[in-house]
Amino acid sequence: MRGDDRPTFLRRERPGIRMTRNVVRREDLREGVVECPLCGRQIAIPTDHLIVYGVVDRLTAENADAVECPACSGVTFVEDGSGCLDH
Ligand SMILES: [Zn+2]
């Protein structure tokens, strides 16, 4: 029984790492529907407030590491398990 028909880029569970801090899901970011977990307000245009820790040609919802809430200035990490939180 395979039981894993999801694309591998979607999620890779890493034991020992708990995502208990404030995060938003990348799929929500793609759809432009992101609610700030810090203040509860919806971020109107999340793609205008993306943060990436690294060098990228173009900052998009696909490679962003975090999003900054324009209402409370809180930074929320984007969760997708692609390893972008590696140091
Ligand atoms: Zn906020």
How far is ligand 1, taken at its centre, from the CA of residue 42, in Å?
8
Residue pLDDT tens, the chain, 87 long: 556 666 555 455 555 545 456 899 999 999 999 999 999 999 999 999 999 999 999 999 999 999 999 999 999 999 985 544 444
Parse the chain into domains and list their residue ranges. Answer: 23-79
Closest CA to 82 of 1, 3, 4, 19: 19
pTM: 0.67
How far is ligand 1, taken at its centre, from the CA of residue 6, in Å?
31
How far is ligand 1, taken at its centre, from the CA of residue 66, in Å?
13
In 20-74, where do the E strands start and end? Answer: 23-25, 34-35, 42-43, 50-51, 66-68
Residue type, 25: R
> Residues in the chain, how many?
87
**Which pLDDT value is given to residue 13?**
52
List pLDDT tens digits, range 75-85.
Answer: 999 998 554 44
For tokens 């324009």, what's the residue?
70
How far is ligand 1, taken at its centre, from the CA of residue 47, in Å?
15
Give the whole-angstrom CA distance, residue 47 versus residue 67: 8
How far is ligand 1, taken at its centre, from the CA of residue 3, in Å?
37
